Amino acid sequence: MQQDDSDTGTPEKRAIRSFVMRQGRITRAQERALAELWPSLGIGYKPAPLDLDQVFGRRAARILEVGIGDGETLVELATRRPDADFLGIEVHRPGIGHCLLGIEAGALTNVRVSNHDAVEVLQHQLPAGSLDELLLYFADPWPKKRHHKRRIVQPPFVALVASRLRPGGMFRLATDWAPYAAHMLEVLGASTDFVNTSPSGDYIARPAERPETKFERRGQRLGHEVFDLAFQRR
């Protein structure tokens, strides 16, 4: 259920969410993956720091993708980089199920998934300085002005990301919504925790290592320009 962010006059106002919960259609294969693969590949939520070396059984570079959708980008990146460990967060169960199937098909051992609110996972489960990269690709732009407060890229979220990245770690973003790209650039540019790696001080060329997503392809069909950003933790 979508969290209510309206001022209802109740003593405690609920946190604004950057996502809307929806049931979505789940296939039998996805249900099977959730039942059989989640116990070994899923990370349940509890407000206590994770020991990532224990979770992955080794020490390696750690890359987090927030909002994995169906997990295709996460699976492709993990396949390309067996030297690194990947954690994907997604609130919608069909997407988690699809991702688990991809992990199974690729026999990947360097991927884990979380089916919870990314902000709470970052706040309570991921230790400070535990990430080498955080990826945020094609997040909901919430185009209507009255919904801009729901955009995940806001100063408190940027500060939270910075605290979880090691010094020198990277925050990589992409969107096909020009106003949201400008918003991201403004918010990140105002942060004293990050340095923009763009030579021109705005956007970077599309990184060859970033897989093309279905959201990107859809945006291109609609004639949208894609904007990539890369900010380095000081």
| Domains of the chain, each with CATH number or no CATH | 30-233 (3.40.50.150)
**Distance from C-alpha of 153 to C-alpha of 31, rounded to nearest angstrom:** 32
Amino acid in position 169? G
User: Mean pLDDT of all residues in the chain?
Assistant: 91
Of 5, 70, 117, 140, the catalytic one is 140
Tens of pLDDT, residues 125-150: 999 999 999 999 999 999 999 989 99
**How confident is the model at residue 222, as a pLDDT?**
85
Count Cα atoms within 13 angstroms, Cβ side, for 3.
12
Is 140 one of the annotated active-site residues of the chain?
Answer: yes
Query: How large a percentage of the chain has pLDDT more than 70?
Result: 90
Q: Give the list of residues 6+ apart from residue 139 with CB closer than 8 angstroms, or none.
A: 18, 66, 67, 151, 152, 153, 173, 175, 180
DSSP tag of 19 = S
**How confident is the model at residue 217, as a pLDDT?**
85
Count Cα atoms within 13 angstroms, Cβ side, for 30.
14
